């Protein structure tokens, strides 16, 4: 299987850290689009200097592969947000089975979650369903709602092509493409007053 393709349901594995080679049970749900192993490997190579001890937010978590990979690599805590109840339940089951401490799952729409009480995060994974085009709205809520630490890192996964509209103080650090997917890591700069 080409490592740039998406993994089949039930076939996702954690690629690094304390949970390396652990398999995630993934429900077969319409629109569920796990981040490819090769993309995760590249992303976590980029994040290696900052992931240990980080507080993370996996928004639109889906399988939770990004957040679980972060926990495996030493993140202190990951808040998973997933609107689909079946995906959220599968994510809870995977966290329990892997004994992945530090993960909490909220079964809510991302927009509703971000209207709650903010806890600033060091790393945010922003990978909403492509068809919903939620990047600008969610990015605005993250930026304005107090969800981002002063120099937070934000991972954005979107369709190949132009980048989605994001806050001007999110500075592109690195980017790549895999098939029809654009993946990019941004660093937050403090907004100008």
Tokens of 131: 């068809």
- Are 9 and 32 in contact, with CB atoms under 8 Å apart? yes
pTM given for the model: 0.91
Residue 4, domain member (yes or no): no
Q: Could you tell me the residue range of the domain that residue 142 belongs to?
A: 12-188
- Look at 128 and 31; give whichever has higher pLDDT: 128
Long-range Cβ contacts of 51-55 (<8 Å, 24+ apart): 51/75, 51/123, 54/121, 54/122, 54/123, 55/119, 55/120, 55/121, 55/122, 55/123, 55/149
181 within some domain:
yes
Residue 102's domain is classified under what CATH number?
3.40.50.150
Q: CA 45 from chain center: how many Å? A: 15
Q: Is 28 among the domain residues?
A: yes
Distance, in Å, from the CA atom of 89 to the CA atom of 93, rounded to the nearest integer, reads 6
The per-residue pLDDT for range 81-100, each reduced to its tens digit, is: 999 999 999 999 999 999 99
In a domain, 7, yes or no: no
Question: Which region, left, alpha or beta, applies to residue 74 given φ > 0 means left and ψ of -120 to 50 means alpha?
Answer: left
pLDDT-derived band at 32 (thresholds 50, 70, 90) equals confident
Residue 17 in any domain: the answer is: yes
Q: Flag whether 27 is in a domain.
A: yes
Per-residue confidence band for 191, with pLDDT thresholds at 50, 70 and 90: low
Number of domains in the chain: 1
């Amino acid at each position: 299987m080409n490592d740039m393709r998406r993994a089949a349901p039930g076939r996702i594995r954690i690629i690094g850290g304390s949970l390396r080679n652990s398999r995630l049970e993934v429900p077969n749900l319409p629109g569920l689009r796990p981040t490819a192993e090769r993309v995760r490997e590249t992303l976590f190579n980029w994040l290696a200097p900052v992931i240990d001890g980080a507080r993370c937010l996996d928004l639109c978590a889906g399988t939770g592969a990004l957040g679980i990979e972060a926990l495996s690599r030493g993140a202190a805590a990951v808040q998973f947000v997933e609107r689909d109840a079946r995906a959220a339940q599968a994510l809870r089951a995977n966290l329990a089975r892997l004994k992945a401490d530090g993960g909490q799952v909220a079964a809510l729409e991302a927009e509703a979650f971000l209207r709650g009480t903010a806890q600033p995060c060091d790393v945010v994974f922003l990978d909403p369903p492509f068809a919903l085009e939620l990047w600008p709205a969610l990015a605005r809520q993250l930026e304005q709602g107090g969800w981002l630490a002063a120099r937070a890192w934000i991972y954005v996964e979107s369709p190949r092509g132009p980048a989605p509209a994001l806050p001007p103080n999110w500075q592109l650090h690195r980017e790549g493409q895999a098939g029809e997917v654009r993946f990019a890591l941004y660093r937050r700069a403090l907004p100008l007053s």
